[in-house]
Homo-oligomer: A and B are copies of this chain.
Amino acid sequence: MAITGVQRAGFVQIRVQDMKAALHHYTEVLGLIEVAKGGDGRVYLKAWDEHDHHSVVLREADAPGMDRMAFKVADNDDLNDFETRLEDSGVTVTRIPDGEDEATGERRQFVIPTGHTIELYAEMEQVGNGMPLDNPEVWPDGLKGMHPSRFDHCLLYGDDLDGSVKLFTEILGLRIAEQVVTPDRKLMIGAFLTAATKPHDVAFIRSPDKDRFHHASFFVESWNDLQLCADLITKNKVKLDIGPTRHGITRGGTIYFFDPSGNRNETFCGGYIYYPDRPMLTWTEDELGRAIFYYDRQLNENFLSVTT
């Protein structure tokens, strides 16, 4: 494919209430790699197979939640192009200069109709995946915990689902891989949006409040790795939400759990390869239980109510 536009979910900035406890969780249990600590106290982490400098930024704050989610675009022309298209559609775009985040080029920041702060960026320093580019091994030494290979996606809750989906599809060029609708198909309840070939880079669920964060998800290789994740969750007394189980939507294997501040994490495996000619799948609300938790076929009470 010619490489233009939004490539992937690039990074997420998460608020944590106790940085020390958070770092233990994100590095020792989840198994991300701490890359840098900013002068402002923010900590930058990456998953092992990412070459870019970071995919998670932790910021100490009074309340948990997601500060912003950023998407990487192919180049700075895309940045400017998207800026124009966003502003043409009435969205206010703020330019964030190079260096405001560690190792990151200039960014474009804007608030989407569901209230979430989204950013675009084209440049980030590369620090590699712990292996040489010549004659590497298949994984680096020193991996810890669940050691996901990549940051995968976020699920966001908000009110104006239609507005955010429209912005992501019509302006940013993502596609709806799957949707959840009311039985009469008049209202979209959920949308799973992909930038490239993953089943989703970002997803939205309609909910009354703006700017709610449901979870950030990290990719592990297989269902077998989900058992390791589950073992580690119990051994480390991490609060489990649900899993290991499987989503009907995306077909992916999943386990949900909480960081010490109550932000939900997911490790995720499997899922199909999406191509633009793959038909969109539709789930009706009466099948929402099976759509979300394919095995239980019913939502747990946390899924719809607990967000940060």
Interface residues, chain A, with chain B CB atoms under 8 Å away:
1-8, 49, 51-52, 72, 74, 126, 128, 133-139, 141, 149-150, 173, 175, 195-198, 219, 221-224, 227, 230-231, 233-235, 240, 243-246, 248, 251, 253, 270, 272-273, 275-284, 287, 290-291, 294-297
Contact = CB atoms under 8 A, between A and B. Distances in A.
A2 B173 contact: yes
A284 B135 CA distance: 7
A134 B5 contact: no
Contact of A246 (B4, B72, B227, B276): B227
B1 A173 contact: yes
Interface hub of A2, A235, A253 (most chain B Cβ within 10 A): A2
B1 A294 contact: no
Nearest to A140: B235
Instruction: Determine how many copies of this chain the complex contains.
Output: 4
Contacts of A279: 51, 126, 128, 133
A295 B239 CA distance: 10
Contact of A294 (B138, B173, B276): B138
Contact of A244 (B5, B244, B273, B283): B244
A223 B227 contact: yes
A72 B276 CA distance: 11
